[in-house]
Structure 1
Amino acid sequence: MKYIFYVIGILLLTLGIAFTIQSDLGTSPFDAVLVGLSINVGFTVGSWEIILAVLMIGCNSLLNREKPEVLGLITAVITGIGIDFWLFVLGDLTTLDSAQSQAVCFGIGLLLIGIGTATYLHTNFAPIPVDRLTLILKEITGTNLFVSRTLIYLVFLIIAILLDGPIGIGTVVTVCLAGLMLNLFMHPIGKAIDRILTHFVTSP
């Protein structure tokens, strides 16, 4: 049952990422790096998700002083495929002909990213390397998810600017709110999932 929530979380997360990319208002700094690499170097956005995941698994291993979390690569592969799939689907379905529709598209995406990330992280099964890095920095700095997520986003923002990725007002909003939203969603979603799992285990 736990793995069902894991899959649901990944599906919501990747759908949210696709919505923010389609909004054309700017994506999260990490996703802007992926898009920038895709435009300048080649390969799909999802492919770069997987490639960067390999690099970050090594980085996380060094910071955490533990063996590389290879399972995180499984999540990255699923996430990369999900991003490319949703971008393909939304490319045919979304028509954004006004600033209002762009804002709605971005808002839906940001909400889905927060809910999806909180959902799959609570299953504690193979976090995406960038999310694992968020948790590691939270422990190292002794702060919360908002601070650690914001620090990571600032670093990727600089890289995205150098790659001429899709930086815009949406990027600023993401840097300011994504960590806060994740911090906000983690507790209530975690409680809801635990309640459902407990009911599932104890029900005849």
Structure 2
Amino acid sequence: MKSMLLKAIFYLVGIVIIAFGISLTIKADLGAGAWDALNVGLTESFGLTVGNWVIIIGALLIVSNALIAKERPDVLAVITILILGKVIDFWLLGALNTVAFSTFWEQLIILLSGIVAIAIGVALYLQSKFSLNPVDGFMVALQKRFGFSLTLSKTLTEAFALVGALILGGPIGFGTLVILIGIGPAIQFFDTKAQWAMNKLLS
């Protein structure tokens, strides 16, 4: 019971922190991550909020991931995208709605803070071993179906989102490259810390 409660806390706190980090990278206005830029582009082209597009795209990916991997849809991943989408809207439309950054250095600090927050959030939520974010599930589905390495699968999924974001005029820029280069090492760094924290609390 203690183990499950602890995993649920790591899962929920992790997703809230991820949503905060994503919101910071968008507000930095230097270029968002490929999938986030896609969601912003969809918002600007068709309306609805960024969080709603996170949910819609996530739902489509849950179905497509199941078809690609020839497995049952990960229905529990719906919980992940619902929480993530709603919390992103909370930050973008509420707490961070009127926040603006006037200089490049302010924007850069916010961008880097967002990357760190996303990495911490991902490291925490991964410890729960609950359902993956459908974007991560897309990567895993390609790896399972076609035997790609996870690195190639991740590159393909990011390229897919990047093309969509470019077509829709999403915020692709310098920050997109920084996120692409920096997010992996940052997650790796914090993952070991999150594992240690989880094991310490369980013991």
Question: What TM-score do the two structures reach when normalised by structure 2?
Answer: 0.89
Q: Which moved more, 1:54-63 or 1:11-20?
A: 54-63
Distance in 2 between residues matched to 1:172 and 1:56, nearest whole Å: 24
- Counterpart in 2 of 1:115? 120
Distance in 2 between residues matched to 1:149 and 1:13, nearest whole Å: 18
CA 1:142–1:188: 2 relative to 1, 3 Å: farther
Residue type of the alignment partner of 1:189: A
Matched residue count: 196
Distance in 1 between residues matched to 2:157 and 2:197, nearest whole Å: 28
Q: Which moved more, 1:70-79 or 1:170-179?
A: 170-179
SS of the residue corresponding to residue 186 of structure 2 reads helix
Alignment of 1:57-136 (within 5 A): 57-87=62-92, 88-92=94-98, 94-136=99-141
Q: Which ranges in structure 1 are unaligned for 5 or more consecutive residues?
A: 200-204
- Counterpart in 1 of 2:46? 41
1:36-88 per-position Cα deviation (integer Å, ceiling 9, x unaligned): 00010010000001111111001111222211011101110110000000112
Q: 1:163 and 2:171 equivalent?
A: no
SS of the residue corresponding to residue 91 of structure 1 reads coil
Residue type of the alignment partner of 1:115: I
- Counterpart in 2 of 1:56? 61
Q: Which moved more, 1:33-42 or 1:113-122?
A: 113-122
CA 1:151–1:192: 2 relative to 1, 3 Å: farther
Question: What TM-score do the two structures reach when normalised by structure 1?
Answer: 0.88
Q: CA deviation at 1:22?
A: 0.4
Q: Percent identity?
A: 37
Residue type of the alignment partner of 1:5: F
Q: Which ranges in structure 2 are unaligned for 5 or more consecutive residues?
A: 1-5
Distance in 1 between residues matched to 2:139 and 2:192, nearest whole Å: 16
- Counterpart in 2 of 1:195? 200
- Counterpart in 1 of 2:157? 152
Residue type of the alignment partner of 2:42: L
Distance in 2 between residues matched to 1:38 and 1:61, nearest whole Å: 26
Residue type of the alignment partner of 1:155: F
